[in-house]
């Protein structure tokens, strides 16, 4: 009898020994007791450490929201500085992480957050970059919105 071909067999990678740097635009992570923040605390249980950098003008200092999860606001004066401010924070985080610990860099979108992620990924040999897409790229709403920005 032939063994069934399971597409997902061996496709899951174990990241429990990784430090994760997440680049996000979701400002709700900075709000105490928000559902989004609670979800981040739950995510952090799957990794050695979780560092979250949020594009924001919020002036909060680094917050430790669980024993292995820290949240950083870019504290950007203007939106144009989100990328450079996030990059600076990310480089400091990478410098603090033991060089033997592998790093997963995850970005919320293929645009500004991915640009930061790509820059950070080039700083460490034992790092991986994960770029997420949380939208339907073929949706007319998405296409119209992106084209509207260019006009």
Q: How confident is the model over 31-79, as pLDDT tens digits? A: 999 999 999 999 999 999 999 999 999 998 999 999 999 999 999 999 9
In the prediction, which pLDDT does 145 show?
57
The mean pLDDT value of the chain amounts to 88
Average pLDDT over residues 115-140: 90
Residues paired with residue 104 on neighbouring β-strands, in sequence order: 20, 128
Q: What is the CA radius of gyration of the chain?
A: 17
Residue 139 pLDDT class (50, 70, 90 cuts): confident
In the prediction, which pLDDT does 140 show?
76
Residue 91 pLDDT class (50, 70, 90 cuts): very high
Q: Give the Å distances, CA to CA, from 69 to 20, 53, 78.
A: 9, 11, 26
Q: Give the Å distances, CA to CA, from 136 to 54, 117, 122, 123.
A: 23, 21, 28, 31
Closest CA to 51 of 22, 24, 30, 84: 22
Which CATH superfamily, name and number, covers 19-150?
Glycogen Phosphorylase B; (3.40.50.2000)
pTM recorded for the entire structure: 0.84
Say if residue 115's pLDDT is above 90: yes
Average pLDDT over residues 86-105: 98
Cβ neighbours of residue 84 closer than 8 Å, sequence gap 6 or more: none
Residue 14 pLDDT class (50, 70, 90 cuts): confident
- Coil, strand or helix at 50: strand
């Amino acid at each position: 009898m032939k063994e069934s071909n399971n597409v997902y067999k061996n496709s899951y990678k174990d990241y429990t020994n990784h430090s994760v740097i997440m680049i996000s635009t979701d400002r709700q992570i900075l709000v105490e007791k928000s559902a989004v923040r609670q979800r981040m605390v739950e995510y952090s249980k799957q990794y050695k450490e979780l560092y979250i950098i949020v594009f924001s003008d919020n002036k909060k200092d680094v917050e430790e929201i669980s024993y292995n999860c820290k949240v950083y606001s870019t504290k950007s004066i203007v939106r144009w500085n989100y990328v450079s401010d996030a990059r600076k924070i990310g480089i400091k985080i990478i410098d603090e992480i033991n060089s033997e610990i592998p790093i997963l860099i995850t970005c919320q979108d293929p645009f500004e957050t991915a640009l930061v992620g790509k820059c950070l990924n080039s700083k460490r040999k034992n790092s991986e970059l994960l770029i997420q897409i949380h939208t339907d790229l073929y949706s007319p709403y998405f296409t119209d919105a992106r084209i509207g920005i260019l006009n």
